[in-house]
Amino acid sequence: MRKSKFDILIIAALTAASVFFMLNVSSGEKRLYLIDKDTKTEVKLEDRDIILDNGHVVIQVTTEGARFLESDCPNRICIKQGWVKNCGDTAVCVPKHLAIVMECKEQDYDAISQ
Amino acid sequence: MPKLFARILCCFLIVTLYGCKESYKTEQFYAMGTFVSVTVPEKNSDIIVNTRSRITSLEAAVKEDTEKFNKNPRYKPRLAISELISRGKAYELITDGRFSIYSATVSKLYGFPEGAYRVPDQSEIDTALDNISRGTNVSLDLGAYAKGWIVDEAIAEIKASGVKTAMVNAGGDLYALGKRPDRDWRIAIQDPKNNRDYISIVNLENMAVATSGDYERFFKAQDGRTIFHIFDATTGQNPEYYHSVSVIASTAEEADGLSTAFFLINPAEVRAKCKKLKTPVLLYTVNGSIMKLCGWEKFEKK
Amino acid sequence: MTGLFAALTVALGVLESFIALPVPGVRIGLSNVGIMLCLYLIDFPAAMYVAVTKAILVPLLTGNLIVKMSIALPSTLAATVVMGLSFFLMRRFTTPLSIGALGAVAHICTQFFVVKNLYIKADAIYNLLPYFCFFSVLTGVLTGYITRVIINNIREDERCISCFRK
């Protein structure tokens, strides 16, 4: 099988595409959001725990970010995803249809009148 | 090899774009009871020092003359300040006397600006209102539009030194001089209910905008009412139409003064007055609705 | 013969649910080896058959039935279709390595699409897609490599090939 050139091309293209999107992170003002199925609510960055699903899921929030602290979903992937701190960080718990995400938006104004 | 070239080009582009964005210098300092920020092109950043000292000396002049006047009503303020005082008449006319340069006579009964806050008896308020209408035993306070005037003076100074583009922002009362390299200055109007959100963004070139809000300075009375710093000089009470009023005008003084004046009159009156004055207005009413009057929308378009 | 591959695929699928990788949420996708073997040695319909069987049986055997199956079925099918297409279009230029990688990427993309539309209705979850996509390329190449080794070994024995083609 001497077809490896084309192979390498395809694999390189796929890797490049994923790396490109990985590096394509936003910057700007951070906002933490909690997504529960189709509702998205902003979460203030302050030290507290959010208890959901009758105590089966605990999300720890700090001034820096948030993480899934406890969850009784089978693989505990959401816990292993760790802290959501930087722009674009996301932790997802599919069985509980929950996600926490740090979204960043560049200021699109020069000053605020208040 | 072309890949490498593309990468270098990309880096170069990012650096230049970033450079464009950062070509202004902003300095923030505390003055006039709020944070003042002066933004000028990086290459002109040395004028910030002058601008800052101009602002603080004007602030001192206003403070000194109002204090002297309040101690001795026969005191003759310096020319610039007496001119400033006389401009208050315009706002008094617009509001049928609900705006007054003497409204501090009432607001100080409540403890504004520094506290301790309290709700005065009706008799105290009545005496103060009486004094305002007769012009005796009054407290002069130019706070409603002096800040805007100082911004205008600072901008005049920047302009005189040949700078074409700058912004002076005194706690949300600001003037945008010229344009950014690629666009107008973009100013967000804060959402009174959430200080991280905004209700409108306007594009300004050689224009000023100012906002008055009931969320800036306030206290909670014992009966649960929230009492804020703007008072109707005919009733001695807070006006109850809006959470915030923003005005775009050709000078920061006018924007500043009108935002306070319009706070005191109902939306129909605001509509009539801003039409005459040709000043766009954004009203955020107490029931949460947003009204854009006299061409405000035109400034929102990019 | 297809039944044998189906059994192999399901067994691999169950087996790998016990293999934990250091990266959360990433699995090797070993069962894809079975599907790819089918594609190479038998035909596309057989591969589809194996894929459907795998997508239904593996969740059944590893628990959390409805959620897993609703995600696994569309994504396994999509991966198989993509692999089948690339097999027919590019068989002459490629080896199982790139087909495995394409299949794995198709698999993860469909998973995200399903999760986005059924479970967490926010674009934000696509933030994670590039990371998973990256790892899926790696695991796809790995499963592709395993498949290639197996096929090469089988092809050395002419009798073996003929028995598959019956």
Percentage of chain B surpassing pLDDT 90? 66
Condensed to tens digits (0 to 9), the pLDDT of residues A63-111 reads: 888 999 888 877 778 888 888 888 888 888 888 888 898 888 777 888 8
DSSP B239-251: --SEEEEEEEESS
A25-56 pLDDT, tens digit per residue, is 777 778 888 888 778 888 888 888 888 888 88
> Long-range pairs for B60-66 at CB < 8 Å and ≥24 separation?
B62/B142, B62/B146, B62/B150, B66/B140, B66/B141, B66/B142
Backbone φ and ψ for B4, nearest 5 degrees, come out as: -60, -45
Confidence at residue B38, expressed as pLDDT on a 0 to 100 scale: 94
Q: Is the pLDDT of residue C1 over 80?
A: no
Contacts of A112 in chain B (CB under 8 A): 172, 187-190, 198
What's the pLDDT score for residue B83? 92
Q: Give C127's contacts in chain A (Cβ within 8 Å).
A: 88-90, 101
Write out chain A residues lying below 8 Å of C120, CB-based: 35, 37, 92, 94, 97-99
Q: What confidence score (pLDDT) does residue B22 get? A: 47
Could you tell me whether strands B24-31 and B34-41 are parallel, antiparallel, or unpaired per DSSP bridges? Answer: antiparallel
Q: Which CATH number do you get for residue C20?
A: 1.10.1760.20
- What is the sign of the dihedral through the CA atoms of B245, B248, B252 and B258? negative
Q: How many domains does chain B have?
A: 1
Residue pair B212/B270 in contact (Cβ under 8 Å)? The answer is: no
B209 touches chain A (CB under 8 A): yes
Domains defined along chain A, listed by start: 28-105 (2.60.320.10)
- Those of residues 55-94 in A touching chain C at CB distance below 8 A are 74-75, 77, 80-82, 88-90, 92, 94
Is position B150 within any domain?
yes
pLDDT at residue B6, as a whole number: 52
DSSP line for C13-54: HHHHTT---SSTT----THHHHHHHHHHHS-HHHHHHHHHHH
Query: So what's the pLDDT on residue B1?
Result: 42
CA-to-CA distance for C94 and C91, rounded, in angstroms?
5
At B275, the pLDDT band (50, 70, 90 cuts) reads: very high
Helix C96-118 to helix C65-90 angle, to the nearest 10 degrees?
Answer: 140
Distance from CA of C119 to the nearest CA of A (A): 5
How close is the nearest chain B Cα to the Cα of A113, in Å?
4
- Chain B residues in contact with A111 by the CB 8 A cut-off are 37, 39, 167, 169, 174, 176, 185, 187-188
Q: Is the model more confident about B301 or about B61?
A: B61
CATH number of the domain encompassing residue B129: 3.10.520.10
The answer, yes or no, to whether residue B36 has pLDDT greater than 90, is yes
Residue B15 pLDDT > 80 = no
Average confidence (pLDDT) over C109-129: 85
Q: What is the pLDDT of residues C132-151, one digit of tens each?
A: 899 999 999 999 999 988 88
Residues of A in CB contact (< 8 Å) with B are 29, 31, 108-114
Residue B232 has a pLDDT of 93
Per residue in B147-165, pLDDT (tens digit) is: 999 999 999 999 999 999 9
Give the structural domain span for B63.
Answer: 25-300
Mean pLDDT of chain B: 89
Pairing of strands A39-43, A29-36: antiparallel
For range B13-42, the mean pLDDT: 77
Identify the bridge partners of residue B39 per DSSP, sorted by sequence position: B26, B167
pLDDT over 60 (residue B13): no
- Could you give the C-alpha distances from C85 to A18, B174, C42, C82, in angstroms and in order? 22, 62, 15, 5
Whether B9 is in a domain gets the answer no
Query: Per the structure block, which two tokens stand in for C79?
Result: 């991966």
ipTM above 0.95, yes or no: no
The distance from CA B264 to its chain's CA centroid, rounded to whole angstroms, is: 15
Query: In whole angstroms, what is the distance from residue C7 CA to residue C155 CA?
Result: 21
pLDDT band per the 50, 70, 90 thresholds, residue B19:
very low
3-state helix, strand, coil in chain A (%, to 5): 25, 40, 35
DSSP string computed for chain B: -HHHHHHHHHHHHHHHHHHHHT-EEEEEEEETTEEEEEEEEGGGTTHHHHHHHHHHHHHHHHHHHHHHHHH-TT----HHHHHHHHHHHHHHHHTTTSS-TTBHHHHTTTTTTT----PPPHHHHHHHHHHHHHT-S-B---TTTHHHHHHHHHHHHHHHTT---EEEEETTEEEEES--SSS-EEEEEEETTEEEEEEEEEEESSEEEEEEETTSSEEE-TTS-EEES---TTTSS---SEEEEEEEESSHHHHHHHHHHHHTS-HHHHHHHHHHHT--EEEEETTS-EEEETTHHHHH--
The answer to whether B199 and B243 are in contact (CB under 8 A) is: no
Does B198 contact A at CB distance below 8 Å? yes
CA end-to-end distance (rounded Å), chain C: 9
Mind telling me how many Å the CA of A37 is from chain C's nearest CA?
4
Å between B121 CA and nearest CA of chain A: 31
* Residues B200-259: tens digit of each pLDDT: 999 999 999 999 999 888 888 888 889 999 999 999 999 999 999 999 999 999 999 999
pLDDT in tens, B94-143: 999 999 999 999 989 898 888 788 898 899 999 999 998 888 888 999 98
Q: Which domain holds residue C83?
A: 2-164
Chain B: partners with 3+ C-beta pairs within 8 Å: A
pLDDT the model gives residue A73: 77
Residue B40 and residue B155: Cα distance in Å, rounded?
10
Tell me if B3 is assigned to some domain. Answer: no
In Å, how far from its chain's centre is CA B3? Answer: 52
Confirm if C109 and C154 have CB atoms less than 8 A apart: no
Residues C77-100 as b/e (b if ≥16 CB within 10 A, e otherwise) read bbbbbbbbebbeebeeebbbbbbb
Q: Average pLDDT, stretch C42-50?
A: 88
Q: How many domains does chain C have?
A: 1
Tell me the count of A-B CB pairs closer than 8 A: 50
